Structure 1
Amino acid sequence: MSLASRLGIGFMRALAHVPLRLVRGLGAAMGNLLYVLAKPRRRVVDANLALCFPGKPAEERKRIARETFVYAAQSFLDRSWLWHAPEQVVAKRLKVVGSASEIDALTNGKEPTILFAPHFYALDAAATALTMRTPRPSTTIYTTQRDPMIDAWVGEGRRRFGNVTALNRVDGIKPIVAGLRKGGVLYLLPDMDFGRDQTVFVPFYGVQAATMPSLSRFARLGRARVVPVISRFTEDGYEIELLPAWKDFPTDDLIADTALMNKRLQGYIDTMPSQYYWVHRRFKTRPEGAPPVY
């Protein structure tokens, strides 16, 4: 356990009691500073935006890039109050909207459900909001942090409310499918590049992108409905929107399903491009013979 980790977690616990306006202001300052100093990561963001939005003027892409660093920093600092502030404070700052039938089904239903949660910066807020509001068993999949102390802190934060099981990616699919078939909820974030062995190539903004096909696979194996969750920053916290369940998903074609997922994801991103996780090297794995992006 490093001293830096202990100090960092202590800082976040203290920050949980600071007014949200000040937390967001600190995040904005950090984000703007990172935009200037974190040049390698900024090059990743710039490359992603150039590939996905070639028709946007360079100045607009620059604005989106700067804003995405701000949202990244603010979402990190917001974990202070999401994971440590009193429950009533957290609940007041998280507003769940959208399909009334889906909200009721999540709270009171028993049908296996996958919450398709794209990598918007508000994803931890969405997970907290939804686990606070349902007694149903839910599962999330995580990647182990290098520092054991940070790994434990993140795990505790994500399991803070509700009946949540956090599974490591190395645990395999059996416990995930078993949880779904018992009427559980899976909070799934499949829109990332985890290497050639775990992905299929499908278009993302017209560019072949290595994409996890897990949404289609788990929906089929778990006999589950797929409900998109779109999470947004607001001045007083976050808005988490549950969209109607997809009626035409899954099919027997895993690759077509994954392409459809990306196509629909593009529509969600287009409504708030700055809030998507562009700091990820989304096009790291390339088709055979394609030049590297980064």
Structure 2
Amino acid sequence: MKLKLVKALLWLLHWLPFRVMQWIAIPMGSLLYLLIKRRRHIGLTNLQLCFPKWSDTERQRVLRQHFIDMASTILGYSILLHAPENRLRRLIHIEGLEHFNAQQDKAIIMLVPHFLGLDFGGVAYTMDHKGASMYAEQRGVFHDISLQIRSRFNEPVLIKRTDGIRPIVRTLKAKMPFYYLPDQDMGPQQSIFSPFFGVPAATLPMLGKLAEMTHAVVVPVITTVGKGCFISRYYPAWENYPTGDLQADTDRMNQFIEQIATAHPSQYYWLHRRFKTRPEGEPILY
């Protein structure tokens, strides 16, 4: 019953232009910034660790804008769920697709860090291409809605995180591009510590492993919120990657994410406890 009500609300909401949603997101995001104290604390801690030279005022401004951008993205999910394809094509602008097309004869790992527009970039991709991605079980109705959004076009292969690496390897060896979100703290068991803005961050070293095992190329894809639209940018395939050195390959991934987060600071997902797992002997940060 709850799922039906949420989907009905999203159906009503999707009739609004995205620019109107962005206006609504200003008071909505500002209110969330004030009310969700726990996430605000996590976000400000992350920004203090990653941008220590910023003033407190600047960090607060960026995080408040992050909540606003996040609110506009959440409202925009109504469009992803219900809008026809022609409206989605007008909403999501694709740049640099030639970098992806140049690798069509190879296995491709699409490196998709946790920027707010990642699902919009994923839907834009699946409107024209076959592909695969991994998902984690989520609480509440958003899990079903998220799977429905990701499954709308071209029957993508959706792999549960708990299913492990084997289905991903099979997918890549079959030359089906893999939409990969690698940059969350998944605990110490499978992670290595790699600097992220100079702070040791528990990071899965899977990007280099997968590229080496499947002879895949890495093509980064970053989707950000623009004025009245989303912009999904494809970057050139990485040269001389992987190197066979898991530490160096993982460090390169984090360095790339740093560069994009610095260019779009309000749009990286700062509300995740990215530095939850600490090297032995170091204090808890949250």
- Structure 1 position 242, deviation (Å): 0.6
C-alpha displacement of 1:228: 0.7
Partner residue in 1 for 2:217: 225
SS state at 1:232 partner = strand
Question: Is 36-45 or 212-221 further displaced after alignment?
Answer: 212-221
Which residue does 2:68 correspond to in 1?
Answer: 70
Q: Distance in 2 between matches of 1:159 and 1:105?
A: 26
**Hey, what's the Cα distance between the residues in 2 that align with 1:160 and 1:258?**
32
Deviations 1:26-51 (A, max 9, x none): 22222110101111110000100000
- Residue 81 of structure 2 is aligned to residue 83 of structure 1: yes
Matched, 1:140 2:138: no
Structure 2 spans left out of the alignment, 5+ residues: none
Report the Cα offset of residue 62 of structure 1: 1.0
Deviates more, 1:232-241 or 1:270-279: 232-241
User: 1:103 deviation in Å?
Assistant: 4.0
* TM-score (norm. length: structure 2): 0.96
Question: How far apart are residue 99 of structure 1 and its match?
Answer: 5.4
Deviation at 1:9, TM superposition (A): 2.1
Partner of 1:270: 262
CA distance in 2, matches of 1:206, 1:156: 38
The 2-side partners of 1:222 and 1:118 are apart by: 21
Q: Does 1:36 align with 2:42?
A: no
1:197 CA drift (Å): 1.1
When structure 1 is superposed on structure 2, of 82-91 and 15-24 the one drifting more is 15-24
Tell me, what secondary structure is at the counterpart of 1:285? coil
Whole-angstrom distance in 2 between the partners of 1:86 and 1:58: 43
SS in 1 for 2:283: coil
Q: Which runs of 5+ in 1 are unaligned?
A: none
The alpha carbon displacement at 1:74 in A equals 1.3
Q: Percent identity?
A: 39
Q: Tell me the amino acid that sits aligned with residue 119 of structure 1.
A: H
What residue in structure 2 maps to residue 121 of structure 1? 116
Q: How many residues align?
A: 286
Query: 1:131-151 CA distances to partner (integer Å, 9 max, x unpaired)?
Result: 1122xx31110011233x542
> Any conservation in 1 of the 2:22–2:228 contact (CA below 8 Å)?
no
Structure 2 residue identity aligned to 1:97: E
Aligned runs of 1:1-294 on 2, under 5 Å? 3-98=1-96, 100=98, 102-105=99-102, 109-134=104-129, 137-147=130-140, 149-294=141-286
> Do the aligned partners of 2:109 and 2:178 also contact (CA within 8 Å) in 1?
yes
Contact preservation (8 Å) 1:99, 1:244: no
Q: Give the letter aligned to residue 123 of structure 1.
A: L
Asked whether the 8 Å contact 2:202–2:278 carries over to 1, the reply is: yes
Q: Distance in 1 between matches of 2:155 and 2:101?
A: 17
C-alpha root-mean-square deviation of aligned residues, in Å? 1.4
CA separation in 1, counterparts of 2:23 and 2:69? 11
Distance in 2 (CA, whole Å) between partners of 1:121 and 1:151 is: 17
CA distance in 2, matches of 1:187, 1:130: 9
Secondary structure of residue in 2 paired with 1:208:
strand
For residue 119 of structure 1, give the secondary structure of its aligned residue in structure 2: coil
1:163 to partner: Cα distance: 3.5
Distance 1:63 1:97, change over 3 A: same
- Deviation of the 1:16 alpha carbon: 1.4
Shift of 1:91: 0.9
| Residues 110 and 184, structure 1, Cα contact 8 Å, conserved in 2 | no
